[in-house]
Each structure stands twice: as C-alpha cells, then as structure tokens.
Homo-oligomer: A and B are copies of this chain.
C-alpha cells in the first residue's frame, strides 16, 4: 500500500522534513499547514522539491472550524477556503482535510452542517480538489467518526468523503468495526497514530503523546483491517504529534515511522513472526580486564577462546558470556539469541529496515547473522553452531567454586534477562524494534524514583510462563535524571539456589556485592515473613500473584553490573519495586 506521513510527525524545517521522509522511502506526505507557513519557499518550490524527492503531496491539512455556522460566518469561511484552494493548486495538492468544528459558534444541526459541507465540496470541485471531513475527538458537535460519515453521506457530493484517524477513533473508545459500514471509496484518507493509554484530557493526549503504530496500546492494525474490509484503497498515513519526536533527529524518526508501517502491513498479512528467539545464546561484554575476576567469583569458568578474535567464552550451566578485550571499557555490546531460523530472522530484520551488520569471518567460522539495535547493541541470531567457533580454552585458573562441580556447571542455570539503557530521544524506536524485529511482547511501562530523577522501565518478553529457555526477557530503561544519563546496563542470571550462591559470595568476595540498606529489611520484615538471612546476604525480595522473586546485585564495573535472580513459582516480574534501592546505592557509589 502507498505510505505517507504528515510533516508534523518529524522535526526540522519543511525542507529537512521532506528530505528525511523521502530518505525513509515514503511515497508521499501530508503537508501540515504550520510547516508551510513558516517555510520561506513559495508553494511552487515546495511542490518541485517534493517532486524531485519522489514524494507526492497527498493531503493538505488542517482546515478548521468550517461547517455548521451562521450565514455571515459561512461567507468568511468560504473565502478562507478559496484562499486554501488556490494555495493547494500552487502546491499540487488535491485533497484537503477538514476537521470537525470545535468553535463555540458551531451549531448542532446536521442538516446545516451537511449543506455547508456540500457547498464547500462544490467550490472545491471547481478547483479539482476533494475534501476529506474528519471527526476530531474533541469536536464541538461532531466527534464520532460515524457522525462525520453521516454528514458526508447526507451532503452527497462526489468531491466529499471522510477521513478516518485511528487516534480520534480509538482514544474515545469507539468501536472501529463501524468503519465497515462506510463505502471504501468514500474513505478519502486514513491517518494512523498509536498512543500509550493515558488518563488525561484527550486534546493534550493527542497533541503531545501520539506515537507510531506498535509503540502504544491501541490496536491500530485491527482498525486498518476494518478499513480494508470496507474497500479502502488509499494510503496508510502517519500523523503523529509527539513532544519527543519534535526534538529528535528527523531521519531517524522518519525511518522509524516507515518501520512501523511495514510491521503493520506484515501484521495485516498475517505473517507469522519468522524467528521469535527461544533463549539467550550469549551476552557479549567489552572488557579491559576486570570482568574475568567477577565472572570467576560468580562461578563461571573460561571454556573457550575464539581462534582469531580477542574473545573468550565463559560458561556456567546454560549461561554463556563472551568477554571481548578489544579495548573498550566494560559494557554490554552484543546479545546472541537462540533463533529457530537465523537466516529468516535476519532477513525479517532487514525488511524492517534494521541495519544488518557486516561480519568479518574466517572461512571455517559459523556464519552469524547480526543487526544493530537502536542503542547500537549488536543482536546476533544464532543456531547451535556458533559454539563451534570457539577452541577449548587453554589453561585457566580454577573457578572459585566448591569441589565436585564441573567446569561449566554450577548454581547458575542461564541468562534470565538483560537490561539496556536507551537514549531518551529513541525509546519509542527501541520499543518498536524489539516488538517488531524480535517479536517480543511489551509489558506496561513503570516509572521508578531515582535520587536524581525518574527511571522509566519497560519489559519485553517472548517467554510464556516464568521458566527460562523457552524465550527471552529484556528490559528497556530510560533514565531521566538531572545531571546526566544513567548508562548502567546489566545481565541477570538465573540461579537454582540464590541463598547458596550469596553465602559463597558474601564469604569470598563481599566487595562484589552491592550493599543493601538495613532500612530496606526493616520495612520488608514489617510487610512480609521473610528469611532473616536475606538481610545478611543482601538479597532483595518481591512477590506477585504467581510467586516469589529473590535477587541480588553486584557492584558496577564500567557500565555493567550483574544481577542474580531466583524465580519461585510463577513470578513474572523483574523486581522493579526494588530498583529504587539499587539506584540509590549505585548513585552513592558515584561519590
């Protein structure tokens, strides 16, 4: 389907917007009036610029407060419209969006409204222009899409149709199934926006918090399906008012918009996601030296070396970590995902415009497909063959573990989740990436206090139930703090018996454990019957309706720390309630 986007959805001057939109592969644009008014180029030059970029001008918008007015005001409104028609001729735009009147002057009279819309359509027809009439969610008398359609039907003019906007329909909780009652050829335009569920005035919600389909809570694809069932054959057009997009780089926002439409089309086509990850193959950490000691203390053993790269494989149970000593400070740089079909997964990522990473490799090495996530983390799609890339490790120090445990055996059983901190302008891009490219399901965002700001956190998962090994869990964090971004990332490993691990760590490496305030345990013990040993071991506790959660943190090395977690019963969370404790202690460590 043809894909377009309103210029208001991205930042910059009109010229910059058009260039970014064309570069992202859109077929056309809606010119948002304010973007034109502030542009120094005359309409003819804007038209030429768009044409040079291969962009059609599919819509000019919005024309406000036209219909259902007293006769004298109608005259003035028609004069306004004539000006706009002449402008649109210069611009080469054939479709004008008229949104329902919000003025106190508007009269609640459908006959009057329809008659005036018909008059407008007649005038438009003289210029070869068509009118798409839309119900704003906060329109004075017309605020339901079926009401707008009733007026269009009543006016009955070939140059008058309706415009449907997913935000205006879904924000009011209207059932979009009614779209199927509208003849497809009378749906002149379809504007798409998603939004997080927010309990606020719909006008403010619309103007500041819209986002691209797949980034919010609305079923935008379901709405589009109704439009297609009705016979709609026009473009899918993004129209997003978002405070963050206004401040972000236009190129990235436009590309992300295109990704959202491609994902939506795949969804509509009923394409099953080709490669939802079934587990973590590995997490790769840049290291200048200190991480080996931490891993040893946690009971990991070095079990392999890459023959050509400065990369070591460390293992314990099903948890595999790579230490990459190419010189960067400790940070999480790559994630390997167990993929049922790595080739299909990479190809799918490529259809969704993810940057595919070139892999330097020796002939005999396993081919690893990889893409870059929005924050630059490399995502590898792996089958079992990747382990063959590693030679058995040479002589290593004995791992610090009890007798009788095998080299890669131990209380740690696998990677439970990884948590990545996102740059704040691109949190929505990350949500869409993990959802569409990896097929993870987002959970609700939570906001957590940090001593110097707030942390927004959203878990994404492909896990059914609470086990490991049948999917992956990731946590996206967004730190909004005064001084600077909080860059911490972490790898959480699952334990069979966290108390035993913690006892050993407390005995042999107390310096690696993040100290937890006694006040936390005083409060915990007031709320719960918990083992008093949790306090002495620095283990945190949470519970939900499904089970219990025990976890502890190591100190931070570079940007990275480790979390040890034990899920008991069907606990489904991530211990978010305890994150403020961790953040405060980590900040105290900044001093």
A34 near B: Cβ within 8 Å?
Answer: yes
Set of chain B residues within 8 Å of A507, measured between Cβ atoms: none
* CB within 8 Å of B: which A31-60 residues: 33-34, 36-43
Residue on B nearest A15 in the bound complex, by CB: B588
A107 near B: Cβ within 8 Å?
Answer: no
B519 to A449, Cβ gap below 8 A? no
B482 to A248, Cβ gap below 8 A? yes
* CB within 8 Å of B: which A427-454 residues: 449-454
In the bound complex, CA of A518 to CA of B267 (Å): 44
A372 near B: Cβ within 8 Å?
Answer: no
In the bound complex, CA of A476 to CA of B453 (Å): 24
Residue on B nearest A13 in the bound complex, by CB: B451
Q: Which of B42, B79, B585, B588 contacts A518 (CB 8 A)?
A: B42
Q: Which of B12, B34, B200 contacts A204 (CB 8 A)?
A: B200
Q: Which of B83, B425, B450 contacts A482 (CB 8 A)?
A: B425
In the bound complex, CA of A585 to CA of B39 (Å): 8
Q: Which of B43, B79, B525, B580 contacts A38 (CB 8 A)?
A: B580
A453 to B246, Cβ gap below 8 A? yes
Q: How far is the CB of A242 from chain B (nearest CB, A)?
A: 11
Q: How far is the CB of A250 from chain B (nearest CB, A)?
A: 9
Q: How far is the CB of A132 from chain B (nearest CB, A)?
A: 19
Set of chain B residues within 8 Å of A38, measured between Cβ atoms: 451, 517, 519-520, 580-581, 583-585
B452 to A12, Cβ gap below 8 A? yes
Set of chain B residues within 8 Å of A526, measured between Cβ atoms: 79-80, 83-84
A515 near B: Cβ within 8 Å?
Answer: yes
Set of chain B residues within 8 Å of A520, measured between Cβ atoms: 37-38
Residue on B nearest A82 in the bound complex, by CB: B526
Set of chain B residues within 8 Å of A523, measured between Cβ atoms: 33, 37, 83
In the bound complex, CA of A39 to CA of B580 (Å): 11
A357 near B: Cβ within 8 Å?
Answer: no
Set of chain B residues within 8 Å of A13, measured between Cβ atoms: 451, 584, 587-588
Set of chain B residues within 8 Å of A11, measured between Cβ atoms: 451-453, 482
Set of chain B residues within 8 Å of A581, measured between Cβ atoms: 37-38
In the bound complex, CA of A22 to CA of B43 (Å): 61
B482 to A249, Cβ gap below 8 A? yes
A482 to B247, Cβ gap below 8 A? yes
Set of chain B residues within 8 Å of A585, measured between Cβ atoms: 38, 40
A512 near B: Cβ within 8 Å?
Answer: no
A363 near B: Cβ within 8 Å?
Answer: no
A199 near B: Cβ within 8 Å?
Answer: yes
Q: Which of B42, B201, B452 contacts A247 (CB 8 A)?
A: B452
Set of chain B residues within 8 Å of A247, measured between Cβ atoms: 452-453, 480-482
A89 near B: Cβ within 8 Å?
Answer: no
In the bound complex, CA of A581 to CA of B34 (Å): 9
B37 to A519, Cβ gap below 8 A? yes
In the bound complex, CA of A211 to CA of B525 (Å): 34
Set of chain B residues within 8 Å of A199, measured between Cβ atoms: 200-201, 204
Residue on B nearest A201 in the bound complex, by CB: B199
Which of A16, A37, A83 has most B Cβ within 10 Å?
A: A37
Set of chain B residues within 8 Å of A480, measured between Cβ atoms: 243, 247
How does the 8 Å CB contact mask read for A57-100 relative to B, with 1 for contact and 0 for none?
00000000000000000000001100110010000000000000
Set of chain B residues within 8 Å of A453, measured between Cβ atoms: 11, 243, 246-247
Set of chain B residues within 8 Å of A583, measured between Cβ atoms: 38
A527 near B: Cβ within 8 Å?
Answer: yes
In the bound complex, CA of A397 to CA of B453 (Å): 55
Q: How far is the CB of A259 from chain B (nearest CB, A)?
A: 20
Residue on B nearest A517 in the bound complex, by CB: B40
- A34-B580, A249-B482, A585-B40 in contact; A83/B200 too (CB < 8 A)? no
21 A–B contacts from the bound complex (CB under 8 Å): A11-B451, A13-B584, A13-B587, A13-B588, A33-B523, A36-B519, A37-B520, A37-B580, A37-B581, A38-B451, A38-B580, A38-B583, A38-B584, A39-B584, A40-B515, A42-B519, A79-B526, A84-B526, A200-B200, A246-B454, A247-B480
When A and B form their complex, which 9 residue pairs have the shortest distance between CB atoms, in order from nearest? A83-B526, A199-B201, A247-B482, A38-B584, A200-B200, A247-B453, A80-B526, A40-B517, A37-B519
- Footprint of B on A, CB under 8 Å? 11-13, 16, 33-34, 36-43, 79-80, 83-84, 87, 198-201, 204, 243, 246-249, 425, 449-454, 480-482, 515, 517-520, 522-523, 525-527, 580-581, 583-585, 587-588
